[in-house]
Structure 1
Amino acid sequence: MEKHYLKPDEAVQAIVENGRRVSTQRRSVTLILSLLAGFYIAFGAQLATVVTQDAAAFVGRGVASFLGGSVFSIGLVLVVVCGAELFTGNSLLASCALEGEITWGKLGENWVIVILGNLAGSLFFAWLMFESHLWENGNLAEHSIAIAARKCQLPFGVALIRGILCNWLVCLAVFMATAARDIAGKIFSCYLPIMAFVTSGFEHSVANMYFIPTGLLIAAQTDRTIPGLTWSNFFLGNIVPVTLGNILGGVVFVAFSYWFVHLKYRRGATPRG
C-alpha cells in the first residue's frame, strides 16, 4: 500500500536528494523560478493586506491576524505545489551541503540568485498592484502604509529575532510538505506553520520585499511622510536583519538539527538519552 507520508528521516533524505539539483540546474532556470516565488509570496501578502484592512474592528486584532495568516499561506502553497525557488525555504539546502551532496559555494550561489530573483519578483508585483489602483479602495492605502511603517521602525535586534522565529516555521512547513505524499497533505502542511508565523507577527524577508515597497509607493503617491518609512530603512533596517534571522532560523533549527539527528547519526553511533 502506498505511504501517505514520509517519516522524518525519510523526509530529510528526500530534501537532500532534491537539493542535488543545485549542482546541475541552469542559473537562468533558478532565476525564473525565484521570480515566480516572489510573485507567489506577494499574492499571499496582498491578499492578507486586503483581508486585514478592517477585520480588527469587527472580530478583534487576534482573529484578524489569524485570518491574515490563513490567506497568506496561499503563497507557500503555490511555491510548493507549482514549483518555485523561495529563499527562505532554500535554507533547508544547508542539509544537502552538510551531507556533502553539494558544495557550500554552490549553496551560496543559489541563495544569491534566489534572493535577488525573489526581490525582483516582489518589487515588480508591488508595482503592478500600485498601478492597479486597487489600493484606493476602502482602507487599503492607510493599512498598506501602516504595515510598511511598522516593519521599517523595528529595532535591528527585534527584526533579527522575529526573522529567526519566522523561518523556523517556514522551513518546518517545507519539511512537512516534503513528507506529505498528496496535494491535500502538502497544502495543509503549508497552511498550519505559515498561519502560525503570520498570526504571531514574525518577519519574512521575501514577504517584506512586497509589503514595504507597496507602502513606500503609496505613501509617495499620496504625499505622506511617515517616520522611518524610507527605502534605506527598507533594505538596511529590515531586509538585512530579517534575512539574517531567516537564515539562522532555517539552517540551525531545521536543516542542521534534522540532518544531525537523522543523517549524521545514521552513519555513526545511535544517539543516547
Structure 2
Amino acid sequence: MDYVKPADVAAAMVDAGRRKLSLSPKDLLIRGVLSGALLGVATSLAFTASQSTGQPLVGALIFPVGLVIIVLLGLELVTGSFALLPLPWLEKEVPFARVLANWGLVFAGNLAGSMLYGLLLWVVLTNAGTTDPAGIAPALVKAAEAKTLGYATHGEAGLLTAFVKAMLCNWMVCVGVVLAMVSSSTLGKIAAAWLPILIFFAQGFEHAVVNMFVIPTGMLLGADISLADWWLWNQIPVTLGNLVGGFLFTGLALWATHRVKPPVAEPVAAIPAQRAA
C-alpha cells in the first residue's frame, strides 16, 4: 500500500513549506512563470472542451491536468503556498517576512507566466491581430467581463461574493495539493489531486492564477474592462480570499489536528521523607 497516513501528511506539509522557503528568488520566479503558463494552458483547454461539447462539466473534468503537472514537476503556485508556507512560521522556524517575500515572488512569476501564455494564445486566435478573434475568444471575453463587471454591478456585495468564492476555491485547491501527498505513487498522486480541483472548477469558484490568464486575455480579445476593473473587482479580493481559504481551511486546520504533538512530561512524584530511626 502506498497510502500515507494523515499524521505523516501533516509532517510532509511542514517539510514542503520548508523546502519552498529555501528556494532562491531565481528558482521561485522560474517555477512561478511555468506554473502560471501551464495553468493558463489547462484553462484554455477546459474552455475548448466546454465549447466543443456544449457541456461545461467536461471542461471541469479536464482542467485538473494543469495542477497535476505543476505538482508532479515541483513548480510554484502561490495559491498552494498560501496553505503550506505559514506552517514553518507557526513552528517558529522562520520570520513571517520571509513568507511574505516568497509569496510576492511566486505571485509575480505566476502573473508573468499567465499573461505570457495569454499573449501567445491571442496570436493564435487572431492570426497575430490580422483577423477577428476566433475559437474560444468569445467565451474568454464573456468570462472576463463576468469575473469583473459582473461583480461591480453588485457593489460591496459583489466584492464579498468574489472573496467568498475565492475562499471556497482555494480550500479545494489546497486540499488537492495536500492530497497529492497521501500517496507515494505517481498514479495515486494524480487521482488524489484531481478530485478537489474538479470540484472548484465545476462550480465556478474564483482562482487568482486562473484569473491572471482569463481576465487580461479577455481584455486583449476585446473585453470592455479596464485595469482598475480587473484588480479592484477581481484580482485583489480573489487573491485575499484564496489566502484566507487555503490557509484556514486546509493548511492551519490539517496541521492543527494531525501534527504530532510533543509528549507532555509526567510530573515527578514527591519522594516521601524517611522516617526517623
Listed one character per residue, the Cα deviations across residues 50-94 of structure 1 (whole Å, up to 9, x for unaligned) are 1122533xxxxxxx2321111111110111011200000111222
* Bigger Rg, structure 1 or 2: 2
How far does residue 131 in structure 1 lie from its aligned partner after superposition? Answer: 1.0
In 2, Cα distance between equivalents of 1:204 and 1:107: 20
- Aligned residue pair count: 252
Residue identity matched to 2:184: R
- Of 184, 196, 201, the match for 1:198: 201
- Of 98, 109, 123, the match for 2:101: 109
In 2, Cα distance between equivalents of 1:247 and 1:49: 26
TM-score for the superposition, normalised by structure 1: 0.87
In 2, Cα distance between equivalents of 1:151 and 1:117: 22
Residue identity matched to 2:61: S
- Of 61, 66, 80, the match for 1:89: 80
Aligned residues of 1:130 and 1:217 also touching (Cα < 8 A): yes
* Counterpart for residue 120 of structure 1: 112
* Structure 2 counterparts to residues 33-182 of structure 1, below 5 A: 33-56=31-54, 64-92=55-83, 93-133=85-125, 139-152=135-148, 153-154=150-151, 155-182=158-185
Residue identity matched to 1:102: V
How far does residue 122 in structure 1 lie from its aligned partner after superposition? Answer: 0.3
Aligned-pair Cα RMSD in Å? 1.8
In 1, Cα distance between equivalents of 2:121 and 2:21: 36
* Counterpart for residue 271 of structure 2: none
Structure with the higher helix share, 1 or 2: 1
Residue identity matched to 1:267: P
Change over 3 Å in CA distance of 1:163–1:31 after alignment to 2: same
Q: Which runs of 5+ in 1 are unaligned?
A: 57-63, 220-224
Instruction: Give 3-state SS (helix, strand or coil) of 2:23's partner.
Output: coil
Instruction: Give 3-state SS (helix, strand or coil) of 2:2's partner.
Output: coil
In 1, Cα distance between equivalents of 2:133 and 2:215: 19
In 1, Cα distance between equivalents of 2:210 and 2:123: 19
Listed one character per residue, the Cα deviations across residues 137-188 of structure 1 (whole Å, up to 9, x for unaligned) are 8652211111111111221111000000000000000110012111111111
Residue identity matched to 2:37: F
In 1, Cα distance between equivalents of 2:253 and 2:22: 26
How far does residue 209 in structure 1 lie from its aligned partner after superposition? Answer: 0.4
How far does residue 37 in structure 1 lie from its aligned partner after superposition? Answer: 0.7
Aligned residues of 2:125 and 2:135 also touching (Cα < 8 A): no
Give the share of equivalent positions with the same residue, in percent.
Answer: 33
Structure 2 residue 236 is matched with structure 1 residue 245: no
Aligned residues of 1:65 and 1:198 also touching (Cα < 8 A): no
TM-score for the superposition, normalised by structure 2: 0.86
- Of 1, 20, 44, the match for 2:18: 20
In 2, Cα distance between equivalents of 1:144 and 1:241: 20
In 1, Cα distance between equivalents of 2:18 and 2:78: 16
In 2, Cα distance between equivalents of 1:189 and 1:138: 35
Of 253-262 and 15-24, more deviation after overlay is shown by 15-24
In 2, Cα distance between equivalents of 1:261 and 1:131: 49
Instruction: Give 3-state SS (helix, strand or coil) of 1:251's partner.
Output: helix
Change over 3 Å in CA distance of 1:266–1:162 after alignment to 2: same
Aligned residues of 1:16 and 1:101 also touching (Cα < 8 A): no
Aligned residues of 1:44 and 1:73 also touching (Cα < 8 A): yes
In 1, Cα distance between equivalents of 2:228 and 2:20: 32
In 1, Cα distance between equivalents of 2:78 and 2:217: 20
How far does residue 206 in structure 1 lie from its aligned partner after superposition? Answer: 0.1
In 2, Cα distance between equivalents of 1:137 and 1:23: 42
